[in-house]
Amino acid sequence: MEQVLTLVVRVEKKARPAQTDALETAARAVLAMLADERSYGEGEWAEAMAAWQDNRIRKITKRARGIEWRRAEALPGITVHGYGTGAEPESAAAEVRVFPPTGVDEVPVDLFKLQVTGTDFEDSGELPPVAAGVPVLWVNPALEMSSGKAMAQVGHAAQLAWWALPAQARKEWVATDFELAVRTATPEHWRTLLTSNLPVVQDAGFTEIAPGSRTVIADHPQLRR
């Protein structure tokens, strides 16, 4: 049975996360799930994680607010908090909860009934420069994706980077609370990145974009050595 990992972003009526904060928090949530001791060895999520990673890696992003969010938080998973990069008063630091994978027909009812639509966010100002040494997930500038779709794609890019890193580099990333940045590449930079042999996400084409579209490239300093 095909497996899916569900991400839920908190979107209250008067407190929406900024776009980049939501994307970065989603990527960090996927990494938190991969690194959690419950996800490997004899951990309670290990079997589900292995089944998911051994097949086509599928993720879906949904939104929740109020009681929906509280019900989602009551289910087994990990909540990751963003840093609130939005400058507008109505912006809120992103909150994303990630759940252990399930069969596509076995998603818990409190997650299954959540909406996929309504996850379109915006950045209210210019993004700060990325500090030296910080991993960057570069988004394809030629594609139009909803925020929810982009959250799943950057999560996948973070996962590809995690798989490619040696054990010590993974430990170092964990120690920084999975510090990373998400930015949209310029067309010229994107073309250069495509020649770099860095991990590239190729979408399966279930939603929004054509199958095989290259959506995000994971540029982690440890992968350039």
Work out the end-to-end distance of the chain between its first and last CA atoms, rounded to an integer number of angstroms.
38
CA 22, 222, 58, 111: dihedral to nearest 10 degrees?
-40
**DSSP one-letter code for 179:** -
- DSSP-derived letter for residue 177 is T
Q: State both tokens at 143.
A: 């594609």
- Alpha helix segments (H runs only) across the chain: 19-35, 46-53, 66-73, 109-112, 147-164, 167-175, 187-193
For residue 46, the SS3 value is helix
Helix H segments across 36-143? Answer: 46-53, 66-73, 109-112
The amino acid sitting at 202 is Q
Total-model pTM: 0.94
Judge residue 32's burial from the number of C-beta atoms within 10 Å of its C-beta, 0-12 exposed, 13-18 middle, 19 or more buried. Answer: buried
* 37: DSSP letter: G
SS3 content of the chain, % helix, strand, coil (to 5): 35, 20, 45
Dihedral (C-alpha) 17, 181, 176, 173: value to the nearest 10 degrees?
130
Residue 63's CB: how many other CB atoms inside 10 A? 22
As a whole number of angstroms, the distance between CA 72 and CA 97 comes to 8
Give 46-86 pLDDT, tens digit per residue: 999 999 998 778 899 999 999 999 999 999 999 999 987 54
Using DSSP's 3-state secondary structure scheme, residue 18 falls into: coil
Beta strands in 32-166 (DSSP E): 59-64, 78-81, 91-92, 95-98, 102-103, 136-139
Digit-by-digit pLDDT tens for the chain (225 residues) are: 789 999 999 999 888 899 999 999 999 999 999 999 999 999 999 999 999 998 778 899 999 999 999 999 999 999 999 987 544 445 689 999 999 999 989 999 999 999 987 778 999 888 989 999 999 999 999 999 999 999 999 999 999 999 999 999 999 999 999 999 999 999 999 999 999 999 999 987 677 788 889 999 999 999 986
